[in-house]
Every structure is written in C-alpha cells, then in structure tokens.
Chains A and B, each alone.
Chain A
Amino acid sequence: MNRPTRAQSHRAHPAFWAFVAHRASGLALALFLPVHFWALGQAIHGEAALESFLAWTRNPIAKAAETILVLLLAIHLTGGLRILALEFLPWSPRQKTAIAGSAGAAVLIGLLFLLNLGAGA
C-alpha cells in the first residue's frame, strides 16, 4: 500500500486536529485508569492507607496532575458531545465553530477546576 513519502499535509485541518485530541485524551485516560483503581483499592486497606494516599495527593505535583486529568476528561467529553451532535443531528455548516466551542469549553472546565483548587487550599 502506498503512502506519500512527503509530510502528510492532508491532515492539516482543524477537524483532524480535533480527532487527534479526542483520540489522545482517550488513550491517556485509559492509561490512567489502573492508577485510579489502585487509588480506590487503597480504601480496602483501611482508612489509614487511604488517608495517607489522600494526604500525598495534596502536594503540588499531584494537584498539577489532577488538573491535567480534569482537562483530559473535559477534552474527551466535549469532543465526544461534538461528534454525537455531528453524527446524530442534521449537518451543520459551522463545524469549525463547533470544534472551537468544544475546545473552549474543555479549557474553561480545566480553569474552573484550577480556581476551585486555589479556593480550597
């Protein structure tokens, strides 16, 4: 099968970037799942184990990681809603607006989470 040997500029458009962002966030979230289950598993080892884990998550690196996680979730959620709308509603000519809107909403969710973190600290 043949692929062009030059840089593949056929992918250089917003809808493809949105696809990549959706796929990459989904993969990253899937990779994170085992960590999530491990953390939940700490609860089985008693309150102390869970509490010490939760205490550890209060350090700034864990907070940063949490924010990234929320951002990934938001990207995957808003991207998924955009795809559902694209495929199940009549076609809208404003696809680029939809992409910008879903990206904006994801960033907004991330920022709100950060603000909340700041308020909680």
Chain B
Amino acid sequence: MRGMEPGTISVRVWRGREDGGFAEYSVPRRASQTVLDVVTFIQRKLDPTLAYRYACRVGMCGSCAMTVNGRPRWTCRTHVAKLGAGPLTLEPLANLPRIKDLAADLAPFFDKWAQALGRFVPPAESKAEFAEVPPDSKARQAADAGIECIGCAVCYAACDTAAWNPDYLGPAALNRAWTLMNDVRDAAGPARLAAIAEAGGCSACHSHQSCREHCPKNLNPTASIAGLKRMVAKAALAGDIE
C-alpha cells in the first residue's frame, strides 16, 4: 500500500467484473471533497478506462451509490474528510451483479420493484371527481414518510436478507409498495398485496434495520415493511389472501 503522504488519499478501487481485483491510486486531498470527486479525479486524470455512474451530483438521482470502506453510501454526498484519514476502498454496490469496475447491474433491483407492483395504477375508469387526499390523514402521512426514495439501492446493498434470499424483493421495492398501498387514488391494492404476500415478500424481512441505518434519505423501510406485514396479516385473517 502506498504511504500516506500529507495531502494525498490512497484509494483502492475495484477493477473488472466478479473476478477482478483492486487497483491503487493516489489522489490529491482537497477541501469539501466528496468520494465521487475522488472517483472522477481518477477517471479524468489517472485512468480514463474506469467505469462508474453518476448524474446529478447533488443527491437527487440515486445513481452514484457504491461500497465505500465496506458500507454502501451515496458517493456524491459523502465527504472524504468525514471518513477519517485512512485509505479509501471503493467497490460496486453489494448484492448485485458487477458489470465493470464500480458499476453494479441494477436490473434485479428494479425488476423487483416491478414485481412488487411498485408503480401507480390509476382506476380503469377515470373518476369524475378529483380524489380527496387530506394531508393529515393517517394513510397520507404513512405514504409521505416513505415517498422521498431516490432509488439508489443503498438499502438493498445493506440488506442481509437480500444477500441470503435471492427472491427477496428488498427494502426499496417494499417501501414503494407501502407508499402506494396508502395512496387512496391507486387502484391496484389487492393485486399488490397478493404480490408482496408471496414467499420473497414482506414476511421475509427480519427487521434488522440495516436498510434504515444506511438509507441516505433517512427513510425507514423497516417501518414500511412492518406496515405491510400488518396489512397482509389482516387480509389473511379476513380470508382475502391465503
């Protein structure tokens, strides 16, 4: 490992696919530098073949997440100074196939959103009246609590159930399903509830809260999933689902 000269950061970066390895780089330390700045420096000045993803740089798009020193983070809003003086180790997000270098394949993550019916379904016939959504109703508050998800997959990478059970829908998809189950305008409630009552659905969650611990938007998928478990339990008791 390269020495820690003052003013530089030693960075170990995963290169290649599953069978790749670490490459080491030395990057000048700067004020207010983010992990994404470090990666961009490497790509622009040291090795243009480095693959990684980002778009907004301001914590809105959810595309820049990586494994930083063993834990998943949004890199555009993670300041290097906050991580201590040691070397940085950067890898793609866990629990997803690796494509190249720091880019993980998010297809399984988003496929599971679709499987959890994580999209708004309008009623078949448009209603003459607008739906009334009282902002302080219980359902709307529950939906609001989970609505700011940016789809970064940090929670999915932090979730050990997602690592252990390939069928598990994961915290983000279930959190999205929960917001929709609390949306009075949505028409797919029963179908969605049936989808998330399946084997890899909400009941597979162990409530160990790693998703909540690491979500950069401070969302609480564990609470959303607990809400879904109650909904499923109620529906099962009422005989609406098996």
Contact = CB atoms under 8 A, between A and B. Distances in A.
Interface of A: 1-11, 13, 15-16, 18-19, 83, 86-88, 91, 95
B220 A83 contact: no
B24 interface: no
A24 to B, nearest CB: 13
B229 A2 contact: no
A2 B207 contact: no
Given A6-B70, A13-B213, A19 B94 contact: no
8 contacts: A2-B96, A4-B70, A4-B71, A10-B158, A10-B214, A87-B229, A87-B230, A88-B229
A5 B91 contact: yes
B163 A10 contact: no
Contacts, number: 79
Interface in B54-102: 67, 69-72, 89, 91-92, 94-98
Interface residues of B, number: 37
Interface centre among A1, A9, A11, A86 (most CB of B within 10 A): A1
B104 A7 contact: no
Interface of B: 18, 22, 67, 69-72, 89, 91-92, 94-98, 104, 157-158, 160, 163, 166, 206-210, 212-214, 220, 222-223, 226-227, 229-230, 233
Given A19-B207, A88-B230, A91-B223, A9 B94 contact: no
B24 to A, nearest CB: 14
Q: Return the 4 tightest CB-CB contacts between A and B, nearest first.
A: A15-B209, A19-B208, A91-B223, A6-B70
A47 B130 CA distance: 78
A83 B207 contact: yes
A8 B70 CA distance: 5
Given A2-B92, A13-B210, 8 more contacts: A2-B96, A3-B163, A6-B91, A10-B214, A15-B213, A86-B222, A87-B230, A91-B227
Given A9-B71, A10-B72, A2 B104 contact: yes
A87 B226 contact: yes
A16 B206 CA distance: 10
